[in-house]
């Protein structure tokens, strides 16, 4: 399965809608077997969804994301795990352990779980 994380300076990007970089992981049986960094050349949401689809990404871990963009990803079969914050390495470890989403890695203001939504679910 391919999992993408929106990244900026080694951390999860605060707002996916304007992010330009993603880290794409190949994950098999809970182990990362490959990784690559990709750049979005444009901020157009449809092109972002198309690129993730071309890369065969099935899950996207990100910070804040607009509902329309999360809905577009869901239409492409990409499940989002939104409102995540923190060091990318720690977030990867939590994902591999099945510990996302979790309150410790929630964006400030999102720890009460009231604003949480999941595209594709």
Please give the pLDDT value at position 112.
Answer: 52
DSSP state, residue 93: H
| Contact between residue 78 and residue 57 where contact means Cβ atoms under 8 Å apart | yes
Residues 76-84, mean pLDDT to the nearest whole number:
95
Q: Measure the CA–CA gap between 58 and 80, rounded to whole angstroms.
A: 9
Asked if the structure places residue 72 within a domain, the reply is: yes
* Residue range(s) defining the domain that contains residue 92: 2-105
Backbone angles phi, psi at 76, to 5 degrees: -85, 0
Does residue 38 sit within a domain? yes
Q: Determine the Cα–Cα distance for residues 91 and 89; give it in Å rounded to an integer.
A: 5
Check which CATH number belongs to the domain holding 23 and give it: 3.30.420.130
pLDDT confidence tier of residue 56, bands split at 50, 70 and 90 = very high
DSSP codes joined into one string, 22-77: EEEEEEETTEEEEEEEEE-S---HHHHHHHHHHTTEEEEE-SB--HHHHHHHHHTT
For 83-117, write each residue's pLDDT tens digit.
999 999 999 999 999 999 888 898 877 755 444 44
**116 falls within a domain:** no
How many domains in the chain? Answer: 1
From the number of C-beta atoms within 10 Å of its C-beta (0-12, 13-18, 19+), residue 65 rates as buried
pTM, two decimals, is 0.88
- 113 within some domain: no
């Amino acid at each position: 399965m391919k999992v993408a994380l929106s990244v900026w300076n080694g951390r999860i990007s605060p707002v996916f809608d304007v992010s330009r970089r993603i880290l794409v992981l190949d994950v098999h049986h809970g182990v990362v077997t490959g990784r690559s960094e990709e750049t979005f050349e444009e901020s157009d949401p449809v092109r972002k969804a198309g690129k993730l689809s071309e890369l065969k990404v099935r899950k996207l871990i990100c910070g804040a994301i607009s509902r329309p963009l999360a809905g577009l990803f869901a239409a492409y079969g990409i499940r989002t795990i939104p409102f995540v914050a923190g060091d990318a390495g720690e977030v990867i470890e939590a994902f591999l352990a099945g510990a996302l989403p979790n309150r410790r890695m929630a964006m400030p203001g999102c720890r009460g779980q009231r604003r949480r939504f999941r595209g594709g679910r």
